[in-house]
Structure 1
Amino acid sequence: MKRPSWQSWLCIALLGCTCAHAQQPGSRALPPVSVKALGNPVEKSYRKMMEGALLFERMHAHAPQAPLRFKLLPRKPGTNMQDVDLEVIGRTFSYAVDVAPDRTFALARDPKALAEDAVVSPNRRQLSMTWRTDIRSPGVPDGMRRLGDLRLECLVGIESGLVSNSNAFTEMVSNLFRSPTGYCGRKDAKYLFFAERAIFSVTLVSADRREVLAMNRLYAEASDDPGLKADLPFCDCEVMLDRTYYLPLGDTDWPDDTLVQFDYMEDAPLAAQPPAQPFVPLGSTRQEVAAALGAANVITFDSGWEVWLYRGAATNASQTPPQERVVLFDASGLVRKVRVRA
């Protein structure tokens, strides 16, 4: 029997974000029909989001200078993320929520919305979108995130209870993660984060210490899941697979000020990461790499780019076998980047 992969349940259940830093909304007494008419809207509980906001205030020490915002992301191919209309809808009122060009927004605490058990509802169908917290401290360099911000994103996300799938099995397993501090405090927490663009590698940097994340922490653990294609419909990473990563959130050896550095697929290689002597020449074809290195564990993305992974094989008999060798092919089938993780 195939072992259920974590994509089938974990990456869907651990979603969410909230915010309590926004202008006070002006309500209007309208029946809540504008979004519900779509059928199966992507709506979330306002009450749960406010519970997440309270947790944000209690755990703000992880990111003391950061505000709390909410972010909308695509989940299904072809989802239009432009001009999303977002509303808070109660029994006797509804009002619009401003969505910024980066698709983030904030929510104010509204006693009436709490009393009426309101929902936060965009004009998109169920499962077409997903949600995340967006917590960003000022002063973080471009192409990086701060680990404390991401720790807090996980905590608030779980507390907000924003599950993005209706699969019965995923809903059952998600009940295991009712404690955000318990889950996000694990070193092996598999809360999916999304980078801004497709990533080739992710590196933790703290003072003089650097560590490149292993491949099984990228791409929704695709390197270890031969059944990924079947799992993707149950994961909110379906159209963002090449942007996903997760972190050792509970590893206190990495302080909150640790920087998370991204090497994006289409950018030039980061100077500190590629080997001094690439084990395959840049510009090589897939056929040439296969002839030199043999069969690989291949991850193919919708963009046409591919990542080939080799584990536990040395480039020659005199070398200590590296743990991982990774080759990136662009859409034309040529080697764009390589890296070694020892």
Structure 2
Amino acid sequence: MRALTTLALAASLLCGGLASAQDKPVRELEPVHVNAMRNPEVRKYEVILAGLDAFERHRQLAPAAERLYFRLRTQSKDESAQPLAVRLVGDGGFNMPLAIDAERRFVVPRVAAAEEAKSELELNRKRRVYRTDPDIRTPGLPAHQRRLGDLRLECKVTVAMAKAEIPTFWVMTINTILLRTDWCNFFGDPEDFRWEGVSKEAHFPFRSERPLLGAVLVDGNRSAKLEVKGTTFQVPIGNDSWSDDAVVELSYAPAPETPTGTAGETPRTAP
């Protein structure tokens, strides 16, 4: 029971499930800002900076990834007709719009003025329509492949941001339960036999942009089938017997069929 509670807690933290700074009251914003919502999706700039620091500390995991990107992932139906917009906004009228690409990815720069203004990263959508996740990709890989080192670095960034966002009490509690400060290494650690081996089997969840049929981890002549559910695939990132250059091969579920039959088929008309 303790094992299950621990894993559930860790998964909630790393997947953004626990109450965080996003659940705290949001300060009032002037109407000239990028949106007029009273409760927009926000994240403190200091949390983003913790992620940028982790990216720089662990760059060796993904040396070809030159920049840390963030991706907006859908959590619930987006009913707004307005284009997505994101910016840094802070005290004293500080306001810096950020560019979003076609894949809903963006870069958050280090700006001293943004830190001094106690800025927040703000999206022009209500809370919990989107979530902001790190997105690290080695150039040249096809869309259905994810390099293990990239995923490990994503975990490092995610954990650093979580630690900056949740109360210190929870950080210390999880450090004590996992017997380590590097939470990412817990997931799939082959040397950890506590709780009847549960921690060896605990894998870190990552998300795909499309529903999955399967996922296979490939490292040279070695391969292992990974657990998938919906758009999520589980990876033993803490198992260092798999190299950083190992690749997760994703296979996607077919697109839903249209009412007329074949997916993507032009609707038929009566003769």
Report if TM-score (shorter chain) is over 0.5: yes
Distance 1:103 1:82, change over 3 A: farther
* Partner of residue 151, structure 1: 152
1:237-269 Cα deviation digits (max 9, x unpaired):
xxxxx11122101000110000000111118xx
- Contact 1:158/1:177 (CA < 8 Å) preserved in 2? no
Unpaired runs of 5+ in structure 1?
Answer: 17-29, 220-241, 268-302, 305-331, 333-342
* Partner of residue 72, structure 1: 72
* Partner of residue 327, structure 1: none
| 1:88 matched to 2:88 | yes
* Partner of residue 126, structure 1: 127
Q: Distance in 1 between matches of 2:162 and 2:81?
A: 22
* Partner of residue 204, structure 1: 217
1:252-310 Cα deviation digits (max 9, x unpaired):
0110000000111118xxxxxxxxxxxxxxxxxxxxxxxxxxxxxxxxxxx79xxxxxx
Which letter does structure 2 place at the counterpart of 1:262?
A: L
Distance 1:10 1:163, change over 3 A: farther
Larger Rg: 1
Which letter does structure 1 place at the counterpart of 2:63?
A: P
Q: Distance in 2 between matches of 1:162 and 1:82?
A: 33
Q: Mapping of 1:168-317 within 5 angstroms?
A: 176=173, 182-186=182-186, 187=188, 188=201, 190-213=203-226, 217-219=227-229, 242-266=230-254
Helix, strand or coil at the partner of 1:192: strand
1:59-89 Cα deviation digits (max 9, x unpaired):
0000001021011011113455972111100
* Partner of residue 116, structure 2: 115
- Contact 1:55/1:159 (CA < 8 Å) preserved in 2? yes
Q: CA deviation at 1:147?
A: 0.4
| 1:137 matched to 2:138 | yes
Q: CA deviation at 1:218?
A: 2.3
Q: How many residues are treated as equivalent by the alignment?
A: 227
Distance 1:190 1:94, change over 3 A: farther
Which letter does structure 1 place at the counterpart of 2:130?
A: M
Helix, strand or coil at the partner of 1:43: strand
Q: Distance in 2 between matches of 1:266 and 1:171?
A: 44
- Contact 1:44/1:162 (CA < 8 Å) preserved in 2? no
- Contact 2:146/2:249 (CA < 8 Å) preserved in 1? yes
Q: Distance in 2 between matches of 1:136 and 1:150?
A: 8
Query: Given the two structures, how large is their TM-score scaled by the length of structure 1?
Result: 0.58
Identity of aligned residues (%): 29
- Contact 1:204/1:212 (CA < 8 Å) preserved in 2? yes
Q: CA deviation at 1:13?
A: 2.2
- Contact 2:204/2:236 (CA < 8 Å) preserved in 1? no
Helix, strand or coil at the partner of 1:54: helix
Q: Distance in 2 between matches of 1:173 and 1:157?
A: 15
1:101-120 Cα deviation digits (max 9, x unpaired):
10000011111111121100
Distance 1:135 1:218, change over 3 A: same
Q: Distance in 2 between matches of 1:109 and 1:183?
A: 26
- Contact 1:144/1:261 (CA < 8 Å) preserved in 2? yes
Helix, strand or coil at the partner of 1:96: strand
Q: Distance in 1 between matches of 2:90 and 2:239?
A: 41
Unpaired runs of 5+ in structure 2?
Answer: 17-28, 189-200, 262-271
Helix, strand or coil at the partner of 2:41: coil
* Partner of residue 196, structure 2: none
Query: Given the two structures, how large is their TM-score scaled by the length of structure 2?
Result: 0.72
**Please, which moves more after superposition, 76-85 or 258-267?**
76-85
Q: Which has the larger share of helix?
A: 2
- When the two chains are superposed, the root-mean-square deviation of aligned CA atoms in Å is 3.6
Q: Distance in 1 between matches of 2:4 and 2:56?
A: 36
* Partner of residue 47, structure 1: 46
